[in-house]
C-alpha cells in the first residue's frame, strides 16, 4: 500500500484549495474524522444523551478563550457574537434535557502567533457534552469513554486510511490500556520547571509547556485543578480548596497537545456574578443567562473535544489544518 508523504513543514499554510480537496491525505483524514463522529454519537446516544443543534450566534459567547477575539455581527441593529463556544447554552439546555451534546461550530480569531503552533484554527468544531448533576470525575469518565470508543471505531473501520497516512496503529491501541493518568496543575508546573520551562504557576499551561508535557507522554493524560485566575467564570471553584477550580484538560501523547477542556460548572447566581466580576466581565452583558441562573439551573459538568485536533492526533497529521476540508488559519485569508 502506498504511504502518503506528509508536508515536511508542519507550519506551512494550506496549499491551493483544489490541491487540498483532491489530496489523498485529505480524504483519509476526513474518513477518520467521520469514524470519530459516528463513534461519539453512537456512545453518547447509547448512554441516554440527546443531540441538540448548537446556536451559531448569540448576544454573548464564551469569554474564556485565551488570547482570541470574538466576531461581532449586526443582528437587526444589535451587536451579536459568533459562538466561540456554546457553553452557556449547554447549561441552559439542561432545563429541557439532563444529558446533552452538540457537534458545535466555533469561530475564534486566534492571535497571529498561533499560526505557528500547528494546532489552532479560527473555525473548528467540538464534541460538546453537558451532564446535569454530574461531578468532574463523571464528566472525565464520559470523555475517556468517547475517546476510546472512537479509537476502536477508527481501528476497526479506517485502518487502511491509517496505513496510507503512515500512522503507527500501536500509538492508538495504547489509548485502550486502562484509565488515563491524572496530574494536578501544580504537579504539571513542577514537571515543567524540572524540564527548564518557566511556566507561570498562576496561569494556564502555555502552548510550549503543553507540547513539552505531551511529547514526554506515552498515553493521553488529564491535568486537573487549574488556579482560579486562569479560567473563565463558569468553571466552578472548589468548596474545600479555595482558589482551585474543579476543571480539567485532556492532553494527547506524542506532542499533539491539548485535545479537550471541561469542568464542573458554577450554577449559583451569587457565585457566578462574583466570578464574572473577578474575571473582568460585566454581568449586565449576560442578562438572559443570569435570569435563568437566578430562577435555577441544574448543577452540571461538561467538556468539549476539538474534532479537528482529535482527528489530527488519531491520523498522525503534521498540523490541524490538514484535518479540515476548508481550513481557516489565523491571519490567512482563504475560502
Q: Where are the domains of the chain?
A: 17-323
Using one digit for the tens of pLDDT, what is the confidence trace for 91-134? 999 999 999 999 999 999 988 888 778 889 999 999 999 999 99
Q: Using one digit for the tens of pLDDT, what is the confidence trace for 252-276?
A: 999 999 999 999 999 999 999 999 9
3-state SS string for the chain: CCCCCCCCCCCCCCCCHHHHHHCHHHHHHHHHHHHHHHHHHHHHHHCCCEECCCCCEECCCCCCCCCCECCEEEECCEEEEECCCCHHHHHHHCCCCCEEEEEEEEECECCHHHHHCCCCCCEEEEEEEEEECCCHHHHHHHHHHHHHHHHHHHHHHCHHHHHHHCCCCHHHHHHHCCCCEEEEHHHHHHHHHHCCCCCCCCCCCCHHHHHHHHHCCCCCEEEECCEHHHCCCCECECCCCCCEECEEEEEECCCCEEEEEEEEECCCHHHHHHHHHHCCCCHHHHHHHHHHHHHCCCCEEEEEEEHHHHHHHHHCCCCHHHHCCCCCCCCCCCC
What pLDDT score does 8 carry?
36
On the question of pLDDT at 1 being above 70, the answer is no
What pLDDT sits at residue 332? 86
Topology at the third CATH level for domain 17-323: BirA Bifunctional Protein; domain 2 (3.30.930)
Query: pLDDT band for position 10 (50/70/90)?
Result: very low
Amino acid at each position: 500500500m502506498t504511504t502518503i508523504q506528509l508536508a515536511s513543514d508542519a507550519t506551512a499554510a494550506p496549499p491551493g484549495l483544489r490541491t487540498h480537496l483532491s489530496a489523498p491525505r485529505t480524504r483519509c483524514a476526513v474518513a477518520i474524522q467521520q469514524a470519530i463522529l459516528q463513534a461519539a454519537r453512537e456512545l453518547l446516544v447509547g448512554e441516554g444523551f440527546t443531540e441538540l443543534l448548537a446556536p451559531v450566534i448569540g448576544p454573548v459567547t464564551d469569554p474564556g478563550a485565551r488570547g482570541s477575539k470574538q466576531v461581532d455581527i449586526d443582528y437587526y441593529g444589535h451587536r451579536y457574537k459568533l459562538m466561540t463556544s456554546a457553553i452557556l447554552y449547554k447549561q441552559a439546555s439542561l432545563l429541557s434535557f439532563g444529558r446533552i451534546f452538540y457537534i458545535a461550530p466555533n469561530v475564534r480569531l486566534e492571535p497571529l502567533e498561533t499560526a505557528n503552533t500547528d494546532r489552532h484554527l479560527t473555525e473548528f468544531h467540538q464534541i460538546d457534552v453537558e451532564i446535569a448533576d454530574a461531578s468532574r470525575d463523571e464528566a472525565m469518565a464520559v470523555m475517556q469513554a468517547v475517546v476510546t470508543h472512537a479509537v476502536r471505531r477508527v481501528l476497526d473501520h479506517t485502518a487502511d486510511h491509517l496505513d496510507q497516512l503512515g500512522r503507527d496503529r500501536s500509538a492508538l491501541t495504547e489509548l485502550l490500556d486502562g484509565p488515563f493518568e491524572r496530574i494536578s496543575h501544580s504537579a504539571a508546573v513542577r514537571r515543567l520547571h524540572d524540564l527548564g520551562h518557566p511556566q507561570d504557576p498562576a496561569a494556564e499551561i502555555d502552548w510550549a509547556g503543553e507540547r513539552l508535557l505531551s511529547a514526554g507522554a506515552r498515553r493521553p493524560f488529564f491535568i486537573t485543578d487549574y488556579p482560579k485566575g486562569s479560567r473563565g467564570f463558569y468553571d466552578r471553584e472548589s468548596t474545600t480548596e479555595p482558589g482551585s477550580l474543579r476543571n480539567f484538560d485532556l492532553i494527547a501523547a506524542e506532542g499533539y497537545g491539548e485535545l479537550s477542556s471541561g469542568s464542573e460548572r458554577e450554577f449559583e447566581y451569587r457565585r457566578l456574578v462574583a466570578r464574572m466580576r473577578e474575571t473582568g466581565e460585566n454581568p449586565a452583558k449576560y442578562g438572559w443567562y443570569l435570569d435563568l441562573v437566578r430562577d435555577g439551573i441544574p448543577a452540571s459538568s461538561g467538556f468539549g473535544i476539538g474534532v479537528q485536533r482529535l482527528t489530527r492526533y488519531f491520523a498522525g497529521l503534521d498540523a490541524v489544518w490538514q484535518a479540515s476540508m476548508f481550513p481557516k488559519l489565523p491571519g490567512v485569508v482563504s475560502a
